[in-house]
């Protein structure tokens, strides 16, 4: 099957992301040390808030304040809130650090089919990271979505005039990249990142013929060539 569209995830597929969230959680833990189980409180608040705030750093910052109020109670001062909000601001403005080999890998992919960036999160933040990454010119189009479902990918394929079986989706999340892509009928490549966010963990669909685990983004092009040779 000739591949006519390549959809690529952004956070922890093209550039580092989770390490910045881990650093933010560490700062939050240090600020509130001695105030109970800060990590458990933050995780519970975050999960409860996804539906309301969506995914992204601004929602995360609001969850930090809420978790702080729940754990620190009356010890939560105005000064502490300002420090917590600064953690969120730093998360929004950290430098974009590309993963190894990303530029060459995208150039190799772009020779095979149009590239579409498909990323979930907040529009302004994801746009800002893409501009700061210097990678924007390598993509034919950019889709910033609130979450990734099979329908999300079906709509992307339709907009680009390709059938699901002519599309490849690659990313570091089984939950957000692989499973919805397979459900939509596309090929799905999982590029594991060592710092996977617990929320995104799912079992790999081992044995599924359109699924492939790929050790680095640099190896995606040769997988696409193999798909083309299959039929």
- Considering only 7, 12, 143, 189, the residue that binds Mg ion (CB under 5 A) is 12
Residue 11 is a binding residue for Mg ion (CB under 5 A):
yes
| Residues 159-188, mask of contacts with Mg ion (x by CB under 5 A) | -------------x----------------
Q: Are strands 115-120 and 5-8 parallel, antiparallel or unpaired?
A: parallel
Do 120 and 55 meet the contact criterion of CB atoms below 8 Å apart?
yes
Distance CA 224, CA 187 (A): 9
Q: How far is the CB of 177 from Mg ion (least distance, A)?
A: 7
Kindly tell me the burial class for residue 52, based on how many C-beta atoms sit within 10 Å of its own C-beta (0-12, 13-18, 19 or more): exposed
Nearer to Mg ion, 38 or 156 (CB): 156
Q: What's the helix, strand, coil split of the chain in %, to 5?
A: 55, 15, 30
- Choose the binding region for Mg ion from 10-18, 42-50, 79-87, 202-210 (rule: CB under 5 A): 10-18
Nearer to Mg ion, 35 or 149 (CB): 149
In 10 A of CB 100, how many CB atoms?
10
Residue nearest to Mg ion (CB): 11
- Choose the binding region for Mg ion from 6-14, 18-26, 61-69, 77-85 (rule: CB under 5 A): 6-14
Do 105 and 224 meet the contact criterion of CB atoms below 8 Å apart?
no
Nearer to Mg ion, 15 or 28 (CB): 15
Nearer to Mg ion, 71 or 121 (CB): 121
| Count of positions on this chain that bind Mg ion (CB under 5 A) | 4
Residue 9 is a binding residue for Mg ion (CB under 5 A):
yes
Q: 160-190 burial, b if ≥16 CB within 10 A, otherwise e?
A: bebebbbbbbbbbbbbbbbbbbbbbbbbbbb
Residues that bind Mg ion (CB under 5 A): 9, 11-12, 172
């Amino acid at each position: 099957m000739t591949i006519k569209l390549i959809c690529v995830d952004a956070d922890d597929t093209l550039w580092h992301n989770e390490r910045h969230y881990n650093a933010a959680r560490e700062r939050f833990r240090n600020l509130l040390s001695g105030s109970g189980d800060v990590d458990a409180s933050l995780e519970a608040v975050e999960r409860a808030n996804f539906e309301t705030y969506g995914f992204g750093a601004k929602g995360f910052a609001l969850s930090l304040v809420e978790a702080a109020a729940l754990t620190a109670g009356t010890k939560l001062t105005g000064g502490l809130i300002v420090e917590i909000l600064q953690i969120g601001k730093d998360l929004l403005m950290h430098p974009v650090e590309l993963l190894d080999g990303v530029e060459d890998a995208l150039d190799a992919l772009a020779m095979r089919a149009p590239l579409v960036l498909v990323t979930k999160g907040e529009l302004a933040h994801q746009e800002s990271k893409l501009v700061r990454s210097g990678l924007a010119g390598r993509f034919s189009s950019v889709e910033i979505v609130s979450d990734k479902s099979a329908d999300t990918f079906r709509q992307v394929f339709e907009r680009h005039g390709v059938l699901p079986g002519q599309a490849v989706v690659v990313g570091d999340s089984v939950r957000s990249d692989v499973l919805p892509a397979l459900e939509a009928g596309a090929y799905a490549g999982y590029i594991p990142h060592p710092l996977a966010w617990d929320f995104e963990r799912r079992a790999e669909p081992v044995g599924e013929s359109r699924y492939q685990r790929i050790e680095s983004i640099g190896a995606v092009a040769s997988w696409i060539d193999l798909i083309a040779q299959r039929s």
